[in-house]
Amino acid sequence: MGEHTVASFDEELGHVDRLIRDMGDLAGAMVGASIRALLASDNALAQRVISDDAIMDARQRELDDRAITLIAKRQPMAQDLRAVLGAIRMAGDLERIGDLAKNIAKRVSAVGQSATPRDLSHSIDAMAQLVLVQVHGVVDKYVAREPQALQSLRADDEKIDVKYTAVFRELLTYMMEDPRNITACTHLLFCAKNLERIGDHVTNIAENAYFVMTGSQLPSNRPKFDETTQAVSPE
Amino acid sequence: MGEHTVASFDEELGHVDRLIRDMGDLAGAMVGASIRALLASDNALAQRVISDDAIMDARQRELDDRAITLIAKRQPMAQDLRAVLGAIRMAGDLERIGDLAKNIAKRVSAVGQSATPRDLSHSIDAMAQLVLVQVHGVVDKYVAREPQALQSLRADDEKIDVKYTAVFRELLTYMMEDPRNITACTHLLFCAKNLERIGDHVTNIAENAYFVMTGSQLPSNRPKFDETTQAVSPE
């Protein structure tokens, strides 16, 4: 295969990259807005996140179509093919992040205004800020082609898991203190779990991005770990 | 492209189908075992589900490799390419079902023996049975090439959502009755949510399977709907 064909393939992969950049920006905006809506009981903002999800779905379809056309037209060899499939997978994870942000937004009205004590809001916000740094970071490192940075980024997912465990325990404590908190806290529990799952999707994206860039797997896969599955009491 | 090439492509897609069949059987077995482990507090069975997940991951890698080789070797046109990508996506959803079963299994020890009243066990089991019918059904209809059956199968996901809402409310009630139930009920809440998410993955698989078989989208996409996101009180 000549230089020219390879360059064209890279050019077309560049179009796919721009769509990933767009989807990443939208995913970050949706996650940020869903948490602001949750902590400020802002139903209008929540509604916008819910409707943004349709834009995200359209972007993913666009990327899929472009990727399929690219494969059909360029007939890439196995390595390039894996790069395109990697991009399709990254788009899939970004779309799932949008879904999870939408799910947080849909819980805003059920959580309501009364039930979130300041300490708890602070913990959830701190967790969300970590998640946001990861979502923006993974797309930046991919677009800038910085495979090594993805390794430390993936390692940072552990910080989200630690925060999630703390929020989980805090929520159980509030529920035990006063049964009237249970409904709202249950929804907040799912919101926190969604943030933790967004972190897992960032990890998937980092692994696919690394593979697209380097053709090899990110070394020493960190096992995903939600230690609250073992939590017997909130202490 | 001659008849012969087309037949070979179909033959190789047949190999991919057998892997999907295997993954579907394993997914069903894992979901069934995780719920039996949960309801009987069977830690050994839970451990088996957790280790089965590695087999599932290996099957998915095998399918991915085979699908990529198939594309690289056969250079299929857009329609066939979409069929292969559809199979890759189906495998992705089956792998996620395995992950969710593993997550249920990991909660078995935290839920413990004491905290599950008979009514609640019954509700969770009824929900799990619906989910199992769906998991087995979607793979059967795909392998048997019965696209029309997928339409009613997708519609049945609504029954799972209805059960989930009932279990969700029941769990909130138990938590409010006695704070000592909160920790166990929280884990059961995540288990029920995992079952509901398995139902969503079955819906994704049905949509991809329909597309692989017919080349067109399943008509009138039912929007995924978790109505507990709106639940303000358990009533």
- Distance between CA atoms of B151 and B206, rounded to whole angstroms? 8
Q: What's the pLDDT tens digit per position in B37-52?
A: 999 999 999 999 999 9
**What's the pLDDT score for residue A118?**
78
In a domain, A235, yes or no: no
B46-61 mean pLDDT: 96
Write the single-letter amino acid at B106. K
In a domain, B22, yes or no: yes
Q: Do A48 and A98 form a contact (C-beta atoms < 8 A)?
A: no
Q: Do A211 and A218 form a contact (C-beta atoms < 8 A)?
A: yes
Q: What's the pLDDT tens digit per position in B68-116?
A: 888 888 888 877 888 888 999 999 999 999 999 999 999 999 998 765 6
Q: Which residue of A has its CA nearest to B75?
A: A75
Write the single-letter amino acid at B17. D
**What's the pLDDT score for residue A1?**
44
Query: CA angle, corner A105, sides to A226 and B200, nearest 5?
Result: 60
Q: B107 contacts in A (CB within 8 Å)?
A: 229
CA atoms within 13 A on the CB side of A189: 27
Percent of chain A with pLDDT over 90: 66
- Distance between CA atoms of A19 and B126, rounded to whole angstroms? 43
Q: What's the pLDDT tens digit per position in B211-221?
A: 888 888 888 65
Q: Among A107, A104, A231, which Cα is nearest to A161's?
A: A231
In a domain, B170, yes or no: yes
In a domain, A216, yes or no: yes
Q: B71 contacts in A (CB within 8 Å)?
A: 71, 81
Partner residue facing A179 (CB), from B77, B179, B229: B179
Q: Shortest Cα distance from A22 to chain B (angstroms)?
A: 22
Q: Shortest Cα distance from B133 to chain A (angstroms)?
A: 25
Instruction: Work out the mean pLDDT of chain A and round it to a whole number.
Output: 89
Domain CATH number, residue A189:
1.20.58.220
Q: B81 contacts in A (CB within 8 Å)?
A: 68, 71-72
Poorest-pLDDT segment among A5-14, A127-136, A138-147, B13-22: A5-14
Partner residue facing A172 (CB), from B68, B106, B183: B183
Partner residue facing A107 (CB), from B175, B187, B229: B229
In a domain, A220, yes or no: yes
Q: Among A197, A189, A221, A87, which Cα is nearest to A131's?
A: A197
Q: Which residue of B has its CA nearest to A69?
A: B78
In a domain, B235, yes or no: no
Write the single-letter amino acid at A146. E
**What's the pLDDT score for residue A2?**
46
Contact A233 B103 (CB under 8 A): no
In a domain, B107, yes or no: yes
Q: Do B101 and B27 form a contact (C-beta atoms < 8 A)?
A: yes
Q: Shortest Cα distance from B178 to chain A (angstroms)?
A: 8
Q: Which two tokens stand for residue B82?
A: 């979409």
- Distance between CA atoms of A71 and A53, rounded to whole angstroms? 27
- Distance between CA atoms of A98 and A96, rounded to whole angstroms? 5
Range of the domain at A161: 3-230
Q: Do A127 and A192 form a contact (C-beta atoms < 8 A)?
A: yes
Q: Which long-range contacts (CB under 8 A, 24 or more apart) does B10-13 make?
A: B12/B66, B12/B70, B12/B74, B13/B70, B13/B83, B13/B84, B13/B87
CB-based burial of residue B20 (10 Å sphere; 0-12 exposed, 13-18 middle, 19+ buried)?
Answer: buried
Q: Which residue of A has its CA nearest to B89?
A: A89
Q: B75 contacts in A (CB within 8 Å)?
A: 75
**What's the pLDDT score for residue B235?**
37
**What's the pLDDT score for residue B213?**
86
In a domain, B71, yes or no: yes
Using pLDDT thresholds of 50, 70 and 90, give the confidence band for residue A176: very high
CB pairs under 8 A between A and B: 90
Question: HEC profile for B39-51?
Answer: HHCCHHHHHHHHH
The full DSSP string for B180-229 is GGHHHHHHHHHHHHHHHHHHHHHHHHHHHHHHHHHSSPPSSPPPP--GGG
Partner residue facing B232 (CB), from A81, A110, A233: A110
Q: Which long-range contacts (CB under 8 A, 24 or more apart) does A155-160 make?
A: A155/A222, A156/A130, A157/A199, A157/A200, A157/A202, A157/A203, A157/A222, A158/A222, A159/A130, A160/A127, A160/A130, A160/A131, A160/A134, A160/A195, A160/A196, A160/A199
Q: Do B27 and B60 form a contact (C-beta atoms < 8 A)?
A: no
CA atoms within 13 A on the CB side of A82: 18
Q: What's the pLDDT tens digit per position in A134-174?
A: 999 999 999 999 999 999 999 999 999 999 999 999 999 99
Domains identified in chain A, total number: 1
A64-88 mean pLDDT: 86
